[in-house]
Amino acid sequence: MPPVSGPPGTPAPNGRPLGRFAIMAVVNRTPDSFFDRGATFGFDAALAAVDRAVAEGADIVDIGGVKAGPGDEVDVTEELRRVVDVVTAVRERHPQVVISVDTWRAEVGQAVAEAGADLLNDTWGGVDPALAEVAAAHRIGLVCAHAGGLRPRTRPHRVGYDDVVADVIAHVTAEAERAVALGVPPEGVLIDPAHDFGKNTRHSLEITRRLGELVATGWPVLVAVSNKDFIGETLGQPVERRGVGTTAVLGVSAWLGARVFRVHDVAGARHALDAVAALAPEPAAP
């Protein structure tokens, strides 16, 4: 993954610096996404969404074939059908963009790596340990996330932590260190607290307030907060009216040192992050 410029331990696949703040655009090849309701499920629609995202300033496109939340079963064969051809087409159309695939399955990781993906976004926190082995074998990047031990596509029920931030840090740093030990390039590793995954609204707000503690680990931090439930619950807003709240959380996260931002609204996020970059002091040199 191309490095995000600036200190420390910066992520990188194809040698092109991503800048101080990198935007990861969400492209869902699913018919039941919580936000776009299947708008980019069709192959042509997905490619058009990638084209728009790149034109609006996305550094990374994150292609997903399975809705994060509960829903219809999507087996490995169907997930492969949804994502591999899109990865192949995007690699041909946009040779410089970083291609990420949102999956927890090693079989899918293997196929998309062969198709040209640069990054595996393991949102469910290492539930399939072989996914990191795939990233290592192909020398591509890996997102190490925290889902509190939750099984994929399930929601937390009365989840509790003595200290949610400490739990997140312990898990994601262990996953990152394991990935590097397996052979994943250190500069290709990102850590993600995974707001709302295995967490309630109070936990997600606490992680946001204390994001600097994750940044202090030295691993580049990815935040994926776009239109999420904790924003809606905090502000009392339905999913289609969470844009302003999302922008606020992006700004706070950037100010606290997050490096990569997974979003639905690329243009809006780019404007917000450019404003933070103009206001915030430059990070210290390593």
> What ranges do the domains of the chain cover?
22-279
Options 29, 82, 242, 262, the catalytic residue: 262
Q: Give yes or no for residue 6 having a pLDDT over 50.
A: no
Burial 135-146 (b: 16+ CB within 10 A, else e): bbebebbbbbbb
pLDDT given for residue 155 in this prediction: 87
Q: How far is CA 221 from CA 39, 43, 154, 210, in A?
A: 29, 31, 24, 12
- Give the count of alpha carbons within 13 A of 87, CB side only: 28
Residues in the chain: 286
Q: Can you tell me the distance from the alpha carbon of 6 to that of 20, in angstroms, rounded to the nearest whole number?
A: 6
pTM for the structure as a whole: 0.93
Q: Give yes or no for residue 17 having a pLDDT over 80.
A: no
Whether 228 sits among the annotated catalytic residues: the reply is: yes
The secondary element (H helix, E strand) that includes residue 191 is strand 189-192
Closest CA to 8 of 194, 189, 251, 261: 189
The secondary element (H helix, E strand) that includes residue 273 is helix 266-279
Contacts of 77-84 with C-beta under 8 Å, sequence gap 24+, read: 79/103, 79/105, 79/108, 80/107, 80/108, 80/111, 82/29, 82/30, 83/29, 83/108, 83/112, 84/111, 84/112, 84/115
Average pLDDT of the chain is: 92
Each residue of 174-192: pLDDT tens digit?
999 999 999 999 999 999 9
Each residue of 199-236: pLDDT tens digit?
999 999 999 999 999 999 999 999 999 999 999 999 99
The SS3 of residue 27 is: strand
pLDDT given for residue 4 in this prediction: 52
Closest CA to 105 of 113, 97, 116: 113
pLDDT given for residue 284 in this prediction: 62
Q: Can you tell me the distance from the alpha carbon of 253 to that of 232, in angstroms, rounded to the nearest whole number?
A: 17
Contact between 132 and 160 under an 8 Å Cβ cutoff? The reply is no
Q: How far is CA 75 from CA 101, 104, 281, in A?
A: 16, 12, 47
Each residue of 99-156: pLDDT tens digit?
999 999 999 999 999 999 999 999 999 999 999 999 999 999 999 999 999 999 998 8
pLDDT given for residue 157 in this prediction: 82
- In the DSSP assignment, the letter for residue 221 is B
Whether 67 sits among the annotated catalytic residues: the reply is: no
The SS3 of residue 81 is: helix
Domain 22-279 = CATH 1.10.730.10? no
Options 228, 242, 259, 270, the catalytic residue: 228
